[in-house]
Structure 1
Amino acid sequence: MPAARAYRGDMARVPLFPLGTVLVPGASLPLQIFEPRYIVLLSDLLNAMDVPEFGVVAIRQGHEVGAGSVHDLHDVGCLARVTQAASLGDGRYLVVSTGVRRFHLDALEPEAGTAYPTGEVTVLEEPTGGERQVADLAERLRRALHAYATTLGAEEPQWPDDPVALSYEVGGAVGLDLGDRQRLLAATDTESRLRLALRLVRREQGLASTMGLVPPPPERPYNPN
């Protein structure tokens, strides 16, 4: 996504975990790990790194499991920090991580010498945009989310006061597909993300009210690698 390259940030080499989902900063990501290459990744994270972080990047083409199963990745992903890890005793591990900050995937590193994918990334900053515009958009988005929940007859969650956190929560809360959630993640600043989120929520509310369409069920509680 060319717009994301306008940011300047720290460059780093990070282990990558391609997934069929989009992780955003502040979100929790539970994983069930069983493939040998990702068990090695987990071991490296917990034993060789002061801060156990890896890059989650959504799969554009391909699927999660099996060597050579990923054919193309999105350009913008999210660094995830491991907060819990436990062995199930049968070769599987349960891992909980939290999204911390976005990155641009500059290149894959096939010569990194790791069993798992590794990439060169640039950590992205989070410009907010115009202060008044952000505050106005956040309030309009909260009203749109309220209308959406009312249309569905669903219990409305407590939305965060922080506009940045609000802009990231929309994708999962409204049940948007991977493409729309990726667009939200890749937005160049908070103002742009709030504008996009407002359009998407109004679209979903319109579909729900006129056609009776409802969002897909929540993602499975654990993403198998």
Structure 2
Amino acid sequence: MTDAIPLFPLGAVLFPGVVLPLHIFEPRYRALVAHLLRRPDEDDREFGVVAIRRGTETGDHDDTSLYDIGCSAQLRQVTSHPDGRYDVVAVGRRRFTVLDVDTESAPYLQASVDWLPDQADPGDLRRAEALVPSVLAAFRRYLRELAEVAGPDALSPEAAQDQLPDDPAVLSHLVAASASLTVADRQKLLAEPDAAHRLRGELGLLRRETSLVAALSAVPAALTDFQVPAGVN
């Protein structure tokens, strides 16, 4: 199914179910939020988030290269400021492929997208479920290694482990969004066809990152930055 949606280029990768806070100050993105707020149906206040391959969030559209796979975000909270800025909270909803980008019809980008299914094959779900214990164990080792070098202000691994889901899709999105990975790593995970492929890729990445933390005795990101995504929509 092909739809047209507003597009928000971002220097990060969004995953389904993950909370996305944004401070909107650029005129073109103020216009995007205003456009969404005019929609009477709150469920229809959805825009696309695509990671930037080359360029910056505030740069010219013509000088910006975007990845082909993105994730939509649904507005959940909007705070308007007198000077026209917005503070918004959105939640990742569903993945898509960008088919075409329209740079002319509005101040912000718009895109024709195809929505991507996840776990369409029952066999994929069985494979994903079989991978969950291994990924949970690898992620817990990763969190323990981080906690050992983070110091007394770090989130305890026990607290983090209490929040881990066992649903394959939710777990795959949580690990991808929470582990200290590059944009390219995260983008590759977002583009995987289903949770089974995503979890399999995360096993290798978690082992790599755990070894790096152990070897360098350094934490790449504060453990308090790890957040459990909101429920998948």
* Residues 41-52 of structure 1 aligned to structure 2 (within 5 Å): 41-48=32-39, 50=41, 51-52=44-45
SS in 2 for 1:199: helix
* Residues 85-96 of structure 1 aligned to structure 2 (within 5 Å): 85-96=78-89
Distance apart, 1:69 and its partner CA: 6.8
Distance apart, 1:90 and its partner CA: 2.7
Distance apart, 1:174 and its partner CA: 1.4
Distance apart, 1:59 and its partner CA: 0.3
Distance change (3 Å), C-alpha of 1:131 and 1:64: closer
Distance apart, 1:190 and its partner CA: 1.0
Distance change (3 Å), C-alpha of 1:130 and 1:42: closer
Which of structure 1's runs of 4+ aligned residues deviate more than 4 A? none
Partner of 1:180: 185
Partner of 2:136: 142
Does 2:190 align with 1:198?
Answer: no
* Counterpart among 122, 146, 155 of residue 114 in structure 2: 122
Q: Normalization by structure 2: what TM-score?
A: 0.84
Which amino acid is 1:210 matched to?
A
Partner of 1:28: 19
Which one has a larger percent helix, Structure 1 or Structure 2? 2
Distance apart, 1:145 and its partner CA: 0.9
CA distance in 2, matches of 1:110, 1:172: 29
Aligned length: 209
Which amino acid is 2:146 matched to?
L
Which amino acid is 1:123 matched to?
W
Deviation per residue, 1:36-75 (Å, 9 max, x gap): 1111111110103631000000000000014337520001
CA distance in 2, matches of 1:122, 1:70: 24
* Counterpart among 37, 54, 61 of residue 68 in structure 1: 61
- Paired residues of 2:124 and 2:194 also in contact (CA < 8 A): no
Distance change (3 Å), C-alpha of 1:74 and 1:90: same
| Identity, % of aligned positions | 42
Does 2:70 align with 1:77?
Answer: yes
CA distance in 2, matches of 1:84, 1:37: 19
Distance change (3 Å), C-alpha of 1:84 and 1:131: closer
Partner of 1:155: 156
Please, which runs of 5 or more residues in structure 2 have no aligned partner?
148-154, 227-233
Distance apart, 1:109 and its partner CA: 1.7
CA RMSD of aligned residues (A): 1.8
Partner of 1:5: none
- Paired residues of 1:64 and 1:70 also in contact (CA < 8 A): no
CA distance in 1, matches of 2:63, 2:132: 36
Does 2:2 align with 1:11?
Answer: yes
Distance apart, 1:211 and its partner CA: 3.0
Q: Normalization by structure 1: what TM-score?
A: 0.87
Which amino acid is 2:132 matched to?
A
SS in 2 for 1:24: coil
Distance apart, 1:155 and its partner CA: 2.1
- Paired residues of 1:176 and 1:215 also in contact (CA < 8 A): no
Which amino acid is 1:183 matched to?
K
Which amino acid is 2:198 matched to?
R
CA distance in 1, matches of 2:29, 2:156: 37
Distance apart, 1:133 and its partner CA: 2.4
Please, which runs of 5 or more residues in structure 1 have no aligned partner?
1-9, 220-225
Partner of 1:109: 102
